[in-house]
Chains A and B, each alone.
Chain A
C-alpha cells in the first residue's frame, strides 16, 4: 500500500509542481494520505480514481481552497502552503470546477475579462480620472479576452460574447470555464472533469483542445477525468488515486494493466472501457 516512491529532490529535473507527502484530513477521514506526485513543464498528467478517491481534494489543496494537514506543495521551487487562493492563482495555477461555476450573470466576455484581474493593475483612480493608462489597459484586457475566446473557434465569439453566461449550452459553459482559467495567464491548469456530461463528439473535440492548450499555449495540465478514452488520448502520464493514496503511476498502458488499478478502479475482470 505505502510503496510511495520518494519524489525527486527539489530542483531536480524541471518539475513545475510537486506535492510532497501531502495529506488532507477532514476530521478522522484521510482524504489525501501522504501523496507525492509531480507535474513537469508542458506535461499533461491525468489523475484518475474511483469516486471519493481524493482527486478534487487534491485540486482544492493545490489551489488553497482546503488546508493541507501535512506535507508540502511546491510550485516552481516555492511552497504554496499558507497562501490565499488568489495568491496561488497569481503564482500561475488556474483551475476549473467539476460543477461548472461561471459568473452566470456576467457576459461571456466579462467572465474572461474579470479573470485577468491578477495580471492587471489599474486601480480606482485610473478609472475615475479615465487616464490613458486605464484606457490602454482596458483595451488590452478586452483584446486578450477576445483572443482567448477565439481559441474555441466561433462558439464563444460574435454576438455570444455579450450574452450572459447562463445562456450558454452545457458544453460551451465548460469551454468558457477553460477560457477563464486561461485568462489568468497560468503556467499550470487544473481541469476538473472537463468532458463530464458532454456527448462523444464534443468530448472528442475537447480532447483535441486539451492537447492544443499544451502545444500552442505551453500550459502544463492536470486533468481529472473519468472518461478513459479521453485519458488515453491526452495523458503523458496517469496517476491513480484510491482512498487518498496513490496506487499507480505511469503511462496509460502500464496503469491500465496494473492489477491493483483494475481491482480498485475498473472493477473485477474488465480491462478498460
Chain B
C-alpha cells in the first residue's frame, strides 16, 4: 500500500500555477460557444420537463412556501451552465483572465437560452398536442411552467428566471475562493437538508433531537423558510472557518510514509468501523433498512470488483451468483422449499452455499474464461440470464418453485444468539457489516499476493502473462470463483432478510447496477467501490430498493445514466480512483509530467542529476 501510494503521490500531475491576466471585456464573447452551451441546456431543460420530474415532484416541498422539488430540478441547469460558461482551461504558461463582468454577461446569455427552452416548450404545449409520442405532454405541465398564469407569462418568466440564474451562476466566479466555498456550502446544505428530510428526521429521532427536526421542517414536509436561512448562515460560517482544513489533512495524510502512514490508516479504519457500529444504534428503522441494502450491494460490488477490477474480466452476468446464493440458502433453510427441505440452520447452510456457488462459478467460468474481451462479456451476459430462466423454468419448478419462488424463508440464526430477519433491519445491517469486512479483507489480501499480481498481469496483457508462465485459465477461474463466493454471501443474507426469493429479483438490471456501482466508485479500489455503493444505492436506491431520494425512485435509471455519462467525461477512473486505473488512463500525461519535472529517464546524460533527485526522494 505504502509503496504504490507514494508513487502515486509523485506521479499525480500537479496543477500548474495560473498566471493572471486582466478580465476580458464584458461584451466580447465567443457567441457560438454560448449558443452551443445554451442550446444543449435548453434541450436539457425540455427533456427534464418532459420526463415528468417537475410535475411528479411538485408536491414535495423543499423550502416551505416558496420552492418545491419539482421546480428545483428545473432551476439547477441554468445556474450550472452560467457557471460553466466562465470556465477557462488552465494551461501552463498561458495566463488566465481574472473573472469580471464578462462572466456575468456570458452566464446571463447562456441562462437566457436555457430558460428559453422552457419558454418554447410552454408555447408549444399550448398550441400543439403531442401526447401521442410524449406521454407527459400535458396541460398540467403547462400550468406548472406558467405558475398558474397564461402561456405568455410562462414564456417570459422562464426567460427572466433563466437569465437571472445564469447570471448568478456566472457571478459565482467573481467571488473569492472563501466566499465561493461559503456560498456553495450554504446552497448544498439547504438542498441537502431539504432533500434528505426523511433521513434527518429519522436520525434526529434516534438521537432524541426531535425538537430540532420539528423546528427545521414544516409539518407537511420541506424546510421552513426561516430555518433554511438559519441553516445556510450556520453552514456558511462553518465553511469559512473550516476552509482548507480538510484538504490540508488529506495532503498531510498523503505525505506520511512508512509506519506513520500505516498507523494513520489503521486509525482511520478504526474510526470508520466505530462509526459504522455506533450509527445504527441511533438510526431508526428506515435508515437501518437503507444501510442494510447499501451493505448488500457493497458486498456484491466488492465481489464483482475482484472479477472486473482486479482480474479485468468484464462479467455482465454477475447476478447469477447472487441468485444461486439466494436460492441455495432458501432451499436449505426454508421448510416450504418444494423438493428437499433440510431446514438447516442458516450458518450451516451458508457453508453449503459457498461450496455450491463456488462450483457454479467453476462450471460457468470454465467454458467462458477462454474467451477474451467483448466476447466474454456477451457470454457472461447470457449465462446470467440462463441462470434466472432456469430458476423460472417449469423444468426446475419442482425444485425451486418456478415463478412463485420460495417463500417463508426463516430468519438467519447466529449461533442461537440472535435471529436476523428483515423485520429488524439493524441486525441485518450488522450481519452484512461482518461479511463486508470479510470481503474487504479478502480483496485486500488477495490483491497483494501472488494471485493478485497474476490477476494484474492478466489484466494488462494476457498473452504476455501466459508467456511469463502464468496459467491464465486457472488464475481467471480463481477470480471468478472468489467473486462468486462473495456474491453468494450477499445472496444468502438477502434470502434471510427478505424471507422469499423469486426469479424476478434477479433481473439483468441487477448485474448492470452492480457494474455501474463498481465503475462509478472506482474500479479496482475497495474504498471507491464502497463509496460508489453508498452514493448510488444509498442516495438513489437499488434496482428495487428505495434510496434516500425516495421521490426520485421513478427516475432512478435516468439519473444513473446521466451520472454515468458525466462520470465518464469528468472522472473516468471513478469517484475514488485506484492508483492503477488512473495510471492506465493517464499513462501518457503522467510520463510527460515526469519528464517535465526533470525525472527524465534518459540514458547516460544527466546521471548525476538523476541520482541526486533519487537521493532527494528518500
Residues of chain A at the chain B interface (Cβ within 8 Å): 63, 65, 84-86, 89-90, 94-95, 97, 101-107, 110, 113-115, 117-120, 122-124, 126-128, 130, 134, 137-138, 141, 154, 158-160, 162-164, 166-169, 171-172, 180, 184, 199, 201-202
Contact = CB atoms under 8 A, between A and B. Distances in A.
A84 B599 CA distance: 41
A124 B467 contact: no
- Residue of B11, B465, B472, B618 most packed against chain A (CB within 10 A): B465
Contacts of A94: 468-469
A201 B584 CA distance: 32
B601 A168 contact: yes
Contacts of B470: 86, 114, 117-118
A58 to B, nearest CB: 15
B112 interface: no
A21 B601 CA distance: 45
A199 B7 CA distance: 29
B371 to A, nearest CB: 16
Interface string B115-148: 0000000000000000000000000000000000
A164 B448 CA distance: 16
A127 B587 contact: no
Contacts of B457: 103, 106, 114, 117
Contacts of A89: 467-469
B461 A172 contact: no
A114 B456 contact: yes
A101 B441 CA distance: 32
Given A128-B442, A167-B601, 12 more contacts: A85-B466, A86-B472, A89-B469, A103-B464, A103-B465, A107-B3, A107-B4, A117-B453, A127-B452, A154-B611, A162-B4, A180-B468
The 3 closest A-B pairs by CB, nearest first: A118-B469, A127-B449, A89-B469
Nearest to B449: A127
Interface in B454-508: 454, 456-457, 460-461, 463-472, 478, 482
A124 B468 contact: no
A102 B467 CA distance: 11
A114 B453 contact: yes
Contacts of B482: 124
A255 B448 CA distance: 50
A184 B468 contact: yes
Nearest to A118: B469
Contact of A127 (B6, B7, B445): B445
B443 to A, nearest CB: 11
B469 A86 contact: yes
Given A105-B583, A114-B456, A168-B601, A124 B472 contact: no
B449 A110 contact: no
Contacts of B469: 86, 89-90, 94, 115, 117-119, 184
B440 interface: no
A117 B454 contact: yes
Contacts of B472: 86
Given A103-B460, A124-B482, A164 B11 contact: yes
A128 B448 CA distance: 10
8 contacts: A97-B464, A114-B456, A114-B468, A117-B470, A119-B469, A166-B587, A167-B11, A201-B603
A162 B6 contact: yes
Interface string B6-42: 1100010000000000000000000000000000000
B594 interface: yes
B450 interface: yes
Nearest to A121: B450
Contact of A159 (B445, B604, B617): B617
Contacts of B583: 105, 164, 166
B456 A103 contact: yes
A57 to B, nearest CB: 15
Contacts of B580: 105
A158 B451 CA distance: 25
A224 to B, nearest CB: 15
A154 B3 CA distance: 19
B578 to A, nearest CB: 10
B286 interface: no
Nearest to A180: B468
Contacts of B601: 160, 167-169, 172
B445 A130 contact: yes
A120 B450 contact: yes
Contact of A104 (B453, B587, B602, B604): B587
Given A103-B457, A159-B617, A169-B602, A85 B467 contact: yes
B557 interface: no
B509 interface: no
B591 interface: yes
Interface in B427-452: 441-442, 445-446, 448-452
B389 interface: no
Nearest to A122: B450
B614 interface: yes
B378 interface: no
Given A128-B442, A164-B7, A184-B469, A134 B603 contact: no
A128 B603 contact: no
A32 to B, nearest CB: 19
B590 interface: yes
A89 B470 CA distance: 9
A65 B467 contact: yes
A123 B451 contact: yes
B586 to A, nearest CB: 11
B467 A95 contact: yes
B471 A134 contact: no
- Residue of B470, B587, B590, B617 most packed against chain A (CB within 10 A): B470
Nearest to B474: A86
